[in-house]
Structure 1
Amino acid sequence: MKLSTWMICVCVCLQSSSAKLPEARLHDDILYGIDPYVRPVSDVTKPVNVSVELFLISVIELNERERSMSSLIWIELRWFDEQLAWNTSKYGGIDSSRVPFNRIWTPDILLRNEIGNKKGMQHTNFIDPTVRSTGEVFWWPGKEVKTKCEIDTTKYPFDEQECTLEVGKWYSDDSKINISSDTSKVDISFYEESEEWKLVDTDVKYSTRLESELKFSKNLFIVKIERRSTFFIANIILPVLLMSFLNQLCFVLPPESGEKIGMCMAIFLTFAVFLSLVGNSLPQSSIHMPAYCIYLVFQTILGILTISSEVFILRLYNNPCWHDSCFSRFAIFVAPLLGLSLGPITTKNEEDIVETKTSKGFAEEICRKVALKLDCVCGWLMLCCNLTFTIGFFLFVNV
């Protein structure tokens, strides 16, 4: 009775074993006895050679304030593990199979300049590597990453940025793991264009550093991007440019109209309100201050000078105190410098000349002539300054 029971158990076990799927038997065989913390090398003095390739899927955001770049990437890791090789004929011709990443050895590869607590390739949705019958292991972890990026916004919004994704090892030095890249460019086969940034070029470099007499190497995947400036030109630069030239129209308006100061203040307030609206969209950096911010400061100063000069010109034009007034003296002093004639003086002695120059009619005429001339000179001067600084700004950001 006992013998028959034992025979039945053996038959059931053999039947259940033979009923297993080939891939299940493969996993049982190749993963049996493997320690995921032991490097897959027979000679412990040699490193594990890991090939690293980076696939750029998209550039999500470039944050000028945080000096960071958010992007979606895939990383392809390849290495050989002799313990995972098998004969395909024993397992139904299976040539490759996915295995749990925590059951085999995986390199401690991570993005060294990644921002956040969840660093490393284990914190991804695609963490299970694929093993081939030759023992070659492929791992394609993909994730959205935020990495540090040295951002130079001096030429905003016509700037180009160069961000680096540093792929290296966390604790293993080069004697344990040797990383390399077979290509000189970042793979952009699956790249999706960004609405704000245009991909210009990519590059791959190799870097090594010494730490406590140990060598640590890393691959630098460089991404060069250019800001698409059409939106910023239409919504930020062009309105400011048009409003800046409106200031010059204040000098065209005649003083008799009584609207010069009102027009200047209306333009200046419009400019101030617009600056408050676009201020949050400008990069806030003191290290690399955008040239456009300096251009806005210049336009603000130009608007203040326009209002100040118009106030002085109108005060000179409508001088209520013609006799013995500092404005009258100023007009008489400046008139020859502006090429204005004081008019014929037919008096015989100096006392009559002085009396003529201080008379109300004479002072009134000279003050108005000087005011009109100053209005013209200041208008051309402001226009020349505005043109010079505007042309200089566009030449600087496009060189």
Structure 2
Amino acid sequence: MLKAGGAATALMLLLLLPLLCCCHRCHSLEVPKLSSCAKAEDKLFKYLFGNYQKWVRPVDHLNQTIRVKFGLAISQLVDVEWTDMKLRWNPEEYAGITIIRVPSDRIWRPDVVLYDNSDGRFEGTITKAVVKYDGTITWTAPANYKSACTIDVTFFPFDLQNCSMKFGSWTYDGSQVDIILEDFHVDKRDYFDNGEWEIVKATGSRGLRMDGSTSYPTITYFFIIRRLPLFYTLFLIIPCIGLSFLTILVFYLPSNGGEKISLCTSVLVSLTVFLLVIEEIIPSSSKAIPLIGEYLVFTMIFVTLSIVITVFAINVHHRSSSTHNDMAPWVRRVFLHHLPKLLCMRSHVDRYATSGAARTRGLGMAEGSEPELTPLFYTRQNLKAALDSIRYITMHVVKENEVREVVQDWKFVAQVLDRMFLWAFLLVSILGSALLFIPVIYKWASIIVPNHETMVFGN
């Protein structure tokens, strides 16, 4: 224990030795004196802020107007410039100091705020302001503004939005603080590209907000932004269009299996999921419904209709003479003779001609004249019994053929229905896709071409 304690004491002494040496050396150094420039700046601050009141408007006369120059850069910087009559000095009296930097919360600032903000924060970050000897103050405050904007999602995800941000003084009218637009165009040099939106145009304008007989100058910046649609096109638009065309294959499947209903149900569930995804992405509004949403709802209605048609086609496919009445003449005429020609299907007339000829031949053998038979082999009674048996067999075969023909007729009607709705759904899908993309392509062309021409003439 003693050895351990002695070792700890020795280690502490070794550690304290450099510290004592440093302290001794520090005491031996003299405190440097302030330079003449530092003394002058200190004297200047005492002169300027000795009796300064930041709550009082810095003017020489009460009816004098402060001109505030306002500018905006998209890199989250707000440039504000004005003249403070109380913060002026002669540089020759203060060692040639022409510029000082003062915390912005120590001086008077124009209460310029964003009127249509959405987060409740009206002011920017408190940073230092640059004060010149003539009283000109430049305050570049970083700010993260969130403004409310009315979104038009009609052409989502190929939409173009026009948003505005209105700035103005909260308490001072135009006779006290006049806001001047420094630059018509918004500075975009330090702007970082966004992966979802692209700024097409950003401009500013000066206006007046009237409150009775009092006018309040305002600065409004307009931002025209365009959504970059590549992500939504690959993962939303193309799958939706593919699902809509997948509905067409329902009418190409045979009706004797249960795959038709399964495919319809799967497509309907998939479209419902995509509709919920779109509802989560876009803001809820009843003023504008996106075209892609209308297209999905329209496709869902047709898929539901295809389920009803498929059930009816399967029912027609399994009809027979024992379960249903005879086919109506107009059904036979329309679905067995006229529609197959229009739908590029094999005609049903040839099969009737072949079956009728076979039936005629069969009946001819049964009802024809009795064959001449020699009495060496058959007696007259045996011949009559044989003819009765042949007649019975022939009638039975003819009846079976008629039943089989009825079943085949109903199956052919089901095939005609499938082919008819296949072409109908194909036409509707093509027209729906065209109506979805033609307005979008036209709108994008009207935006991109003028911008390209402006860039060419600008260069």
| TM above 0.5 | yes
- In the alignment, what sits opposite 1:74? 77
The one-letter code of the counterpart of 1:374 is L
- Superposed counterparts of 1:1-399, under 5 Å: 21-57=39-75, 73-121=76-124, 124-126=125-127, 128-277=128-277, 279-320=279-320, 322=322, 324-325=324-325, 331-332=331-332, 334-335=334-335, 338=339, 343=352, 360-398=403-441, 399=443
Shift of 1:279: 4.0
Measure, in 2, the Cα distance between the counterparts of 1:80 and 1:286. Answer: 49
State the one-letter code of the partner of 2:84: D
SS in structure 2 at match of 1:312: helix
Q: Which amino acid aligns with 1:76?
A: D
Write the distance in 2 (CA, Å) between the matches of 1:81 and 1:196.
Answer: 43
Q: CA deviation at 1:367?
A: 1.8
Amino acid aligned to 1:110:
V
Partner Cα separation in structure 1 for residue 299 and residue 319 of structure 2: 30
Q: Is the contact between residue 328 and residue 363 of structure 1 (CA under 8 Å) also seen in structure 2? A: no
Residues 240 and 271, structure 1, Cα contact 8 Å, conserved in 2: yes
Deviates more, 1:337-346 or 1:144-153: 337-346
Bigger radius of gyration among the two: 2
Following superposition, the deviation at residue 195 of structure 1 comes to 0.9
Decide whether aligned partners of structure 1 residues 142 and 329 sit closer, same or farther in structure 2, where only a CA change above 3 A counts: farther
Report the AA paired with residue 369 of structure 1: F
- The alpha carbon displacement at 1:194 in A equals 0.7
RMSD: 2.9
**How big is the shift at 1:209?**
2.2
1:361: Cα distance to partner? 4.2
**Structure 1 gap segments, 5+ residues each:** 1-14, 58-72, 348-355
Output one character per residue of 1:271-314: Cα deviation in whole Å (capped at 9) or x when no partner.
33444455422432222221111111011112112222111111
Asked if the contact 1:56/1:188 (under 8 Å) is kept, the reply is yes
Higher share of residues assigned helix: 2
Q: Which one has the bigger strand percentage?
A: 1
Unaligned runs of 5+ in 2: 1-32, 341-346, 360-398, 444-459
Question: What is the TM-score with the length of structure 2 in the denominator?
Answer: 0.71
Deviations 1:99-134 (A, max 9, x none): 23343221111111112333134xx142x3210112
In the aligned structure 2, how far is the partner of 1:300 from the partner of 1:326?
A: 35
- Deviation per CA, 1:142-181, whole angstroms, max 9, x where unpaired? 2212111121111110011111111101011101110011
Instruction: Give the length in aligned residue pairs.
Output: 359
Q: CA deviation at 1:214?
A: 0.3
For CA contacts below 8 A with separation 6 or more, give which structure has more relative contact order: 1
**Quick check: 2:101–2:130 contact (8 Å CA) kept in 1?**
yes
Deviation at 1:46, TM superposition (A): 2.9
Work out the CA distance in 2 between the residues paired with 1:39 and 1:129.
17
Per-residue CA shift, 1:51-108, capped at 9, x if unaligned? 0001111xxxxxxxxxxxxxxx211111112221212222232221112334322111
